[in-house]
Chain A
Amino acid sequence: MRRTMRLPAGLVAIALLAAACSGGGGSTSAGSSGGVKNGGTLRIGTASGIDSLNPFVAQQQDAYSTFEYIYPFLVQYDTNNLQFTGDFATRWNESADGLTWTFHTHPNAKWSDGQPLTANDAAWTLNTILKFSNGPTGNSAGMLAHVKSVTAPDANTLVITYQKPVANVLSNLQQVAILPEHVWQQYATGKGTGLRTYNNQPTPGHPVVSGGPFVLVSYTPKQIALFQRNPNFYGRKPHIDGFGLQYFANDDAMITALKSHQIDAVETVPVTSVATLKAAGLHVYVGPGLEFHDFIINANPKKTTHRELLNPLVREAFEYAINRQQIVKTAWLGYAQPGASIVPPGTGAWSDPSVTPLPFDIQKANQLLDQAGYKRGPNGIRIADGHPMSYQVIFPNDEAGAGDRAFQIIQAGFQQIGVQLQQRPMDDTAAFNAISAPNSTYQTFDLAMWDWVPLEDPDFILSVLTCSQYGNWSDSGYCNPAYDKLYQEQGVAVNPKARQQLVYQMQQMIYNARPYIVLNYQDVIDAWWNNWTGFVESNQNFFNPLSKQSLTEVHQT
């Protein structure tokens, strides 16, 4: 499984922090003034695809982007500045103690089948998630951590009470689709297993009951999802009549289809196709993304073999031996930025600007390894504790392609410091199994490469390095009680400035300990034909689960 978070989390919307945000630049929105041509069907190509239309089963980002457009959410992002803005909730406020959040929702709203859409639907959805949180709704339960109760005192008001203050309430709620109670309640009986087995797919004449700007009218698994404008939508109506999301099993077929006008736009263009598409006259958007690639060094203090890797001098030497600039230039063809922090600059103010990469310096790396006492053997490979410094690098399938080229660059650098690396490719599940072996104790693996796609809010990416993530998200064996304490503190720091300082501290702590050597942040690249405009870009592409803006604004020229 790709270490990709399926959902975005939020940045607390305060002007002070938002001013520093750098995320959603590059919008091509033309607004709704002159030159807007209404109508038409936008044909989007994707190599990701919808794995399930059931929010309690789905894993893929395209599924969550689909939910964003067919279901109401309490809030959404304005991806131009990463601030929260209203969706089904028109306004909201929190109590002075931070424990009670009150949302005022759109009055007189309707689902696509004409049934009333009210705060009761929101309350039912959240309460159902809480009720079955250790079973059928477990994949959504994390978004409602510390929620004590959810009520709808009237049809247009939703009140959520927390057991303790939570720092990222809005970013969590931004990820929870509000489902039509009159459709779903029949599955929330008994142990709630029906909530996972209901496929939520449209049939001829019976579209998915939707409350967003579009209605899902047709779906053929692994091929196409077709959406039509929802006349009952409570918010701003889209310019287009509808859109289709066509799935491609491979990038080459998708790019060929785009070039031959079989589709109008694609999300996530491979870096090797950018020049071709530009030459063909397409509009290619390149902007900062959240995904980063990292070189992992086992950080478990209880590691049983090759314990020299725990030596801070060795870890620092490894970073000096990595040529990030060449990786960006050769592996990513320039469509990436060198980086060092686990919180990418694309998240805006949460990324600590003082965390910067070490320069590529082979001499310094050799000096550090000499200082550590690891002399070169007769074949040039250094000897540590009686064995050669020769290691396998676990290499998941996710990293294939650009990651292969990055590995070769790293391998060449390490050779110059007397350290031998061998690539050990395997599929993602096997890779995680090898990293966490034996039995989720992380005692045997040495090195690995992988990627993360953090969310807008730093909570998730910070969480993966906590001790409690052993056997779950952890892929480094890092466990530090001091770090865990900071993680708990940032989770309840409702003052954004105070939280920012805690988040900065955690980034510095990880940078110094080097469970990961962050290599680079990958750019977001999308492309479309010039007869379309108005796409609102984000650090998660134009078809994203952050907001309803992009496909509401898009139109023909």
Chain B
Amino acid sequence: MRGADYVIKRAGFAVLTIFVAITINFFLFRVLPGNAVADLSRVPRATPQLRHALEVEFGLDKPKWEQYLIYLKQLAHGNMGVSYATQQPVSTLLANDLKNTIPMVAVGTIAAILIGVLTGILSAWRRGSALDHLSTNLAIAFYAFPTQFLGLMLLILFASVLPTSGMMNPFVLGPESLWARLKDIGAHMILPALTVCLTLYGEFTLIMRSSMLETLGEDYVLTARAKGLPDRKIVSRHALRNALLPIATVVAISLGWIVGGAILVEFIFTWPGIGWAMWQAIYQRDYPMLQGGFLVLAVSVIVLNFIADLAYFRLDPRIKE
């Protein structure tokens, strides 16, 4: 029962957080100065009638609270609205952006997690060695590098070897086999995913190293050593499992941000993902796109956090107590 209580509480909290996020999403962007109509009606000899027609079309002529209720009602019906800028359904546009973003950011993030955890373990295991110094300093350096700088350096360095822009060879006309297409997308993904990976992995290295060092100093590790267990076994069987606890939260949060895209990386490599789409939407005051995009992001982060809570419940028996 205690377990069920925990899950229900966490689930309830997650739902409440999503509702708060929806509300904040609605009002936050409307606080920004200017609106979409002001931009879109700036055409030669625009008349007040045109401006009014656009306000009516977008529902911006109604009071804010009424717009909010309409938004909630539409959302309850699964309707995210129509983009002001492109006049296309937000759900279609977001689905397309997510389809592009998720593979690239997921590859980069998962690679970062794997490399980070591995190098963190190695650093802690070989604490004080040249390997530890090298690994820790590299991790700090990449962690500190501005994403745009790192991305641009990779772009300039590999411009003649790897594709540097877009998701696929854009000048292919006519049919193309699925395999050729996947290979093409994979080649285009290398540099942006590498940038994501390099900017993220340092964080995992440092957290993992610190967590491992803490665990390696515990009495039960000392006992294991006293029993004459080999180092490899101590690390893999006793220290690693316990050291993974703090990493679980960071991993969950990182995975949640995958759908948020990577604005700077997408911008540098012209990767048509959701981060870049949100950046454009803010610029254009495209409220439906912003609300939709940030809703997806909020739901994703909250759900992944919920999953992290559940994982903690499994991993750490102390919570059950």
Contacts and interface: CB of A to CB of B under 8 A. Distances in A.
Interface of A: 1, 5-7, 41, 43, 51-52, 54, 57, 59, 134-135, 138-139, 141-143, 145, 193, 196-197, 199, 217-218, 220-224, 226, 228, 242, 244, 246-250, 252-254, 256-257, 259-260, 262, 427-430, 432-434, 460, 463, 472-473
A218 B169 CA distance: 13
Contacts of B86: 51-52, 57, 199
B41 interface: yes
B166 A52 contact: no
Nearest to B53: A135
A285 to B, nearest CB: 23
The 6 closest A-B CB pairs, nearest first, are A142-B45, A429-B34, A224-B170, A138-B50, A433-B33, A142-B44
A91 B294 CA distance: 54
Contacts of B267: 249-250
Given A196-B87, A253-B165, A429 B268 contact: no
B285 interface: yes
B44 A252 contact: no
Interface of B: 32-35, 38-47, 49-50, 53-54, 57, 82, 85-88, 96, 152, 155-156, 159-160, 163-168, 170-171, 173, 266-270, 272, 276, 282-285
Contact of B159 (A139, A244, A260): A260
A257 B272 contact: no
Interface of B is mostly: loop
A138 B164 contact: no
B173 A472 contact: no
Contacts of B152: 252
A424 to B, nearest CB: 12
Contacts of A223: 166-168, 170, 270, 272
10 contacts: A138-B43, A141-B47, A223-B270, A226-B171, A244-B170, A259-B159, A429-B38, A429-B284, A434-B33, A472-B41
Contact of A433 (B38, B156, B167): B38
Given A54-B87, A138-B50, A460-B44, A432 B270 contact: no
Contacts of B285: 429
A226 B32 CA distance: 37
Contacts of B155: 252-253, 256
A242 B173 CA distance: 10
Contact of B34 (A134, A246, A430): A430
Nearest to B35: A429
A260 B157 CA distance: 11
Contacts of B46: 138, 142, 472
A239 B282 CA distance: 42
Given A253-B164, A430-B34, A246 B170 contact: yes
Contacts of A199: 86-88
A3 B269 CA distance: 27
Contacts of A59: 40
A248 B165 contact: yes
B164 to A, nearest CB: 6
B167 to A, nearest CB: 7
Most chain B CB inside 10 Å of its own CB: which residue of A143, A256, A433: A256
Contacts of B163: 262
Given A135-B53, A248-B165, A253-B270, A142 B43 contact: yes
A432 B171 contact: no
B45 A463 contact: yes
B290 to A, nearest CB: 13
A143 B45 CA distance: 9
Nearest to A58: B86
Contacts of B40: 59, 139
Given A142-B45, A145-B45, A253-B155, A222 B33 contact: no
Given A228-B173, A249-B276, A256-B156, A139 B268 contact: no
Given A51-B85, A196-B87, A463-B44, A249 B164 contact: no
Contacts of B35: 429
A365 to B, nearest CB: 33
Contacts of A222: 270, 272, 276
A52 B268 contact: no
Contact of B171 (A196, A224, A249, A430): A224
B159 A249 contact: no
Contacts of B266: 249
Nearest to B50: A138
Contacts of A460: 44
B235 to A, nearest CB: 43
A145 B50 CA distance: 14
B160 A260 contact: yes
A191 to B, nearest CB: 9
Given A41-B171, A197-B88, A223-B170, 11 more contacts: A1-B42, A5-B44, A51-B86, A134-B53, A199-B86, A221-B96, A223-B270, A242-B173, A250-B267, A472-B41, A472-B42
A49 to B, nearest CB: 10
B87 A141 contact: no
Given A54-B87, A199-B88, A256-B155, A143 B170 contact: no
Contacts of B44: 5, 7, 142-143, 460, 463
Nearest to A223: B166
A248 B163 CA distance: 13
Given A142-B46, A244-B171, A257-B165, A429 B270 contact: no
Contact of B53 (A138, A220, A256): A138
Contacts of A247: 166, 270
